[in-house]
Amino acid sequence: MFVLGIESSCDETAAAVVRDGHEVLSSVISSQIKLHAAYGGVIPELAAREHLKNLQPVVTTALRESGHTIDELSGIAVTSHPGLIPALLVGNAYAKGLAAASGLPIVGINHFQGHIYGAFLDHPDYLADEANYPILGVVVSGGHTALVLIEQDGHAKVLGTTLDDAAGEALDKAAKILSLGYPGGPIIDRLAREGDPHRYDFPKGLVGGGGKPIPPEHRYDFSFSGVKTSLLYQVQGRELSEKDLRDVVASYQAAVMDVLVTKAMAAARDNQARLICLCGGVACNSYLRQHMEEACKKVGKPLLLTPPKYCTDNAAMIGGLGYHYFRHGLTDNLDLPVGARLPPDLGLFPFAKHAFLE
């Protein structure tokens, strides 16, 4: 089964052709980073206009590189939520038009689920092995920071999420405070490698520091507003030397990432998760990958790290996940809506071992 995936939830225009949910025949991405860098963040209307310009050539290239034509496809999977509404509308309108013209079925994909599935694109064997369930998905991106427990039957529960900024957003805002450029995550990761992560003591939200117990209802939740404010006070009115800057950045990054690792390990332990997967754009961060590996090794839990090429927004994860919907006969109509927010009920994860009682 050949599925065309289309992704336009933010500032990447992407298309991919995936066979049987895992074999990525092509994956094409047109990034808008340089365009939005001047504004220090993504401008939704500008992103939508770029998607409108880039979608046709990106899809055409993806089909050509896959070696297949539109007539050989089995269906079209398109990101429908969550994301920037103007950007999503462009991708969905294009996918619907293509579906109507070709007679192909269409399915809307939850971008959040797509990020989790991206970890398994190269490892279908992990999904087929009952010994790996329940799976703890650690989703860390610019828009989301959450811990999700996935059972064999596809039912999933959000154990915790961010109460304010997502981790990626906290990195971008820190880079803006320090005038480092956009996007902040990769810049901070690079500078932090030459800094001292122990020099500055930045607060770690909701981990029980400072003598304050964690409210039980927020045991697995995240809060990064405090560390961001602390950074602002730390550097306000100061001229930082090159060494000071690298130490500040390294200490700030460690404060953010250590919370992610601590919470993930607590959730895995308390919920008897047998496999942990780290995914989302921030999963590219070298400090996070290293320390998550070390923590998992210490407690003997297997860890699946999403390859960097599937961490950031891409259409391979959308097309791959779409396959699982199509093989269960699940499709959407051409009135498929788009949504900005992640729904409270994530629905079934169709790639789980026994999803839909298969």
- The per-residue pLDDT for range 227-279, each reduced to its tens digit, is 999 999 999 989 999 999 999 999 999 999 999 999 999 999 999 999 999 99
Bridge partners of residue 305, in order along the sequence: 278
Res. 148: pLDDT tops 70: yes
41 & 162 share domain? no
The pLDDT assigned to 212 comes to 74
Q: Which residues contact 80 (CB under 8 A, 6 or more apart)?
A: 88, 92, 108, 109, 110, 332, 336, 337, 338, 339
What's the average model confidence in pLDDT over 330-341? 95
54 & 157 share domain? no
How would residue 309 be classed by pLDDT, with cut points 50, 70 and 90?
very high
311: tokens are 């961490």
172 & 138 share domain? yes
Query: What secondary structure letter does DSSP report for 344?
Result: S
Residue 270 lies in domain: 131-306
Number of domains in the chain: 2
Percent of the chain with pLDDT over 70: 99
Nearest-5° angle of CA 161, CA 41, CA 119? 45
271 & 316 share domain? no
Task: Please check whether residue 254 lies inside any domain of the structure.
Answer: yes
268 & 292 share domain? yes
Angle of helix 167-177 versus helix 242-270 axis, rounded to 10: 170
Chain center to CA of 307: 12
pTM: 0.95
Task: Please check whether residue 159 lies inside any domain of the structure.
Answer: yes
Task: Please check whether residue 126 lies inside any domain of the structure.
Answer: no
353 & 248 share domain? no
98 & 8 share domain? yes
CA distance 167 to 225: 10
Task: Please check whether residue 337 lies inside any domain of the structure.
Answer: yes
251 & 349 share domain? no
The pLDDT assigned to 273 comes to 98
The pLDDT assigned to 214 comes to 87
DSSP string over 220-287: T-B--HHHHHHHHHHHTT----HHHHHHHHHHHHHHHHHHHHHHHHHHHHHTT-SEEEEESGGGG-HH
Of the candidates 164, 173, 166, the one whose C-alpha atom is nearest the C-alpha of residue 41 is 173
113 & 37 share domain? yes
Which of 332-355 are b and which e, b meaning 16 or more Cβ less than 10 Å from the residue's Cβ?
Answer: beeebebeeebeeebebbbbbbeb
The overall average pLDDT reported for the chain is 95
57 & 149 share domain? no
How would residue 210 be classed by pLDDT, with cut points 50, 70 and 90?
low
Of the candidates 171, 165, 167, 168, the one whose C-alpha atom is nearest the C-alpha of residue 188 is 171
Of the candidates 110, 109, 113, 111, the one whose C-alpha atom is nearest the C-alpha of residue 277 is 113
CATH number at residue 261: 3.30.420.40
146 & 285 share domain? yes
Task: Please check whether residue 65 lies inside any domain of the structure.
Answer: yes
Q: Are 53 and 12 in contact (CB under 8 A)?
A: no
The pLDDT assigned to 37 comes to 85
- Residue whose entry in the numeric block shows the structure tokens 């629905």: 347
Q: Is the peptide bond before 82 cis (omega within 30 degrees of 0)?
A: yes
357: tokens are 């009682």
